[in-house]
Amino acid sequence: MTEQSTAHALAQDAIPELSRDQLLDMLRRMWEIRLFEDKVYDLLGQNIIKGASHLYAGEEGVAVGAVEALRDDDLITSTHRGHGHCHARGDSLAEGAEAKQMHLNKMMAELCGRVTGYCAGRGGSMHIADVEKGNLGATGIVGGNIPVATGAALSMKMQDMDRCVVCFFGDGASNTGNFHESLNMASAWKLPVVYVVENNLYGMSVPFNNVSPTPDIAARAAAYDMPGVVVDGMDPMAVYEAVSAALARARRGEGPTLVECKTYRWYGHSRSDPRKYRSKEEEQSWHDRDPLVVFGKRLLDAGMATQVELDAVEDAAVEAIEKATEFALNSPMPPAEDVEKDVYVLTAPTPAEIEAERRLRMRVRASEAANDPGLKKIPYWQALRDAMREEMLRDPAVFVMGEDVGLYGGAYGATRGLFDEFGGERIKDTPISEALIGGAAVGAAMTGLRPVAEIMYVDFTPLAMDQIANQGAKNRYMFGGKTKVPMVIRSEGGAGRSIAAHHSQSLEALWMHFPGIYVVMPATPYDAKGLLKAAIRDDNPVMYIEHKMLYKEEGYVPTEDYVIPLGVADVKREGSDVTIVSYSRMVLRALEAADKLAEEGISAEVVDLRTLKPLDLETVVASVRKTGRLVGVTEAYKTSSVISELFTLVNEAAFDWLDGPMVRVAALDVPVPMAETLEDAAIPNVDAIIAGVKKALR
């Protein structure tokens, strides 16, 4: 579509008319955004504000116009150039002059890295957000917020809430996979989301028309069967009308809209940007359309404001920004002792819970387990399925999403039967869009649901790394401890099926590296069920990695409801000569090796970590103190493996108890090969574990 007012293009409902007071309020917000950004530019130059800051000056009409169309309970997501969005939304919800001033105070304090800021100084400019008021956050990753907004809209629809999400992003983000993956699913599922793209003509320095075959981003909406409209982003009323119409459409259940706002940033990408890629003539042509000046003149010409009133709005904005700056600079820095605060929602199991689970697993492991009416023998896949089913019955906020999880039942059958019982509303087949799956889980988790999202192979999880690690795992800390992201990403890894290097890796060390996310890897049906239930109930993101060769393994599982506390290892076999530590499928091989070693008079203790993060170092150290020898076994590549990290921790905590070097038994540092002979040679087997133990005992 060409540039137009979109009221006639979209609306079946009338656009609400704005009062004189509302229009003056919009002008006030625009002036506050402009002067806020000018002050930030000055403070950056004085090195009072540190780091990168991407200023919104010039684009005020977009944020203010779009936010004016929102209801108080609607949500937004924002970008690295998000000061305008944060102010417009926060100010619209602040009641009274004092609250509005405090809102500006907290914004400036956040940019100055002060503890009084919205994110306690942890987010800064690129991540500024008041998440408690429906701003789900700004992101420093271009396009990183688009899947999150889509997931939040999914959450609103699933919870039958008449609420919408407005997702702001720049023209550069429209060239990312996140953009296309999100628009595709949002349109297919008719989600209540409005995508507002602020096309300021440059993605950092590269002109948009150099990297796009079409001049209008809105034209891309046609590929996803949604309206795509272009508006003058320098005109807040045009933006207001467009977003109002799009929101009305979304509330009618008709799905998303892409609103492209043609706009211009006064400053460069950041303060250090000399803007050599723009001509003075181009800049002047846009300055002639300054939204503050033009909008103020419209009010004046329409007789809706006097020049005295317009001057008073500007003067009041100057005063408000000065007060905010004074507040920020007089606020303290965050205390250094808070540096590790709010990375996780901490809910450590009690000693009683740990003991109860220990007694339960001893019962499962007992020789008379077959005669225990409170136990049943089931395969690993069913333990996973039963865990999801029971949690969905227990908590209506739990739902399952992912590739082929519905009628097909999952690539390895772990969701079979759930679609028949719960239907497509709670067992949701997604597109093959890993980044979207991860980001949608984040957005849904932030807004009241508990998604269990499946990414078919752990090899594919790097495709979703930004969404899971940057948006999900860092979320709580980055926004000052004000959010929870209770989501589970189920995946499977490991070799054994001759399906080669893109479907056979063990990438748990990758996920263990990121702060803010837990990593779970169960070895038995009992562990699989109890740990999955615990993961679903936990308020942190959890990467839950199964093993493709364990799905048919059978074991006893209690018929009663039970959970296994995260961060509690299991001594699966007692021993006195050497400790073998492992997890997932390698636990079973370690137990086989222990049986063979026993025939030679070597007593091996086998410790199953079960959760890699949180890690139960105490149980490992206790075993090492008993045996004096440690062998670590992993199916992952040897270099930078989980076992290497574990050995560092043991060295720090129990070096004096070791009677010899610790020994790693790991996969070779080669891509997992397809040929069975080569695959077997690359992955640890029982003989390799035995050899490792004997090396440790020398």
Spatial CB neighbours of 415, under 8 Å, sequence gap ≥ 6 = 385, 388, 400, 405, 406, 409, 427, 454
Long-range pairs for 640-648 at CB < 8 Å and ≥24 separation? Answer: 640/509, 641/509, 641/666, 642/508, 642/509, 642/512, 642/583, 642/612, 643/581, 645/509, 645/512, 646/581, 646/609, 646/615, 646/617, 646/620
Give the 3-state secondary structure percentages of the chain, helix then strand then coil, rounded to 5.
45, 15, 40
List Cα–Cα distances, 527 to 183, 416, 533, 558, in angstroms: 38, 20, 10, 11
Please choose, from the candidates 586, 583, 584, 490, the residue with its C-alpha nearest in 3D space to the C-alpha of residue 532: 490
- CB count within 10 Å of CB 116 equals 19
Bridge-partner residues for 579, per DSSP?
605, 630
Strand 630-637, strand 578-582: pairing: parallel
Please choose, from the candidates 4, 27, 69, 16, the residue with its C-alpha nearest in 3D space to the C-alpha of residue 297: 27
Sign of CA dihedral 285, 291, 293, 298: positive
Q: Quote the distance between the C-alpha of residue 538 and its chain's center.
A: 15
d(CA 46, CA 509): 42
Strand 202-203, strand 206-207: pairing: antiparallel
d(CA 344, CA 516): 6
Phi then psi dihedrals of residue 394, to 5 deg? -75, -35
Cβ-based burial of 603 (10 A; exposed 0-12, middle 13-18, buried ≥19): middle
SS3 670: coil
d(CA 614, CA 348): 10
Which residue among 103, 503, 513, 547 is the active-site one? 503
List Cα–Cα distances, 244 to 13, 228, 597, in angstroms: 9, 14, 72
d(CA 359, CA 247): 55
Side-chain half-sphere CA neighbours of 197 within 13 A? 29
Tell how many helices (H) and how many strands (E) occur in the chain: 25, 22
Helix (H) or strand (E) holding 493: strand 488-493
Q: Quote the distance between the C-alpha of residue 661 and its chain's center.
A: 40
Is 547 an active-site residue?
no
d(CA 240, CA 33): 17
Given a contact cutoff of 8 angstroms between Cβ atoms, the answer to whether 577 and 623 are in contact is no
SS3 558: strand
Token pair of 623 as six digits: 């075993």
Active-site amino acid positions: 503
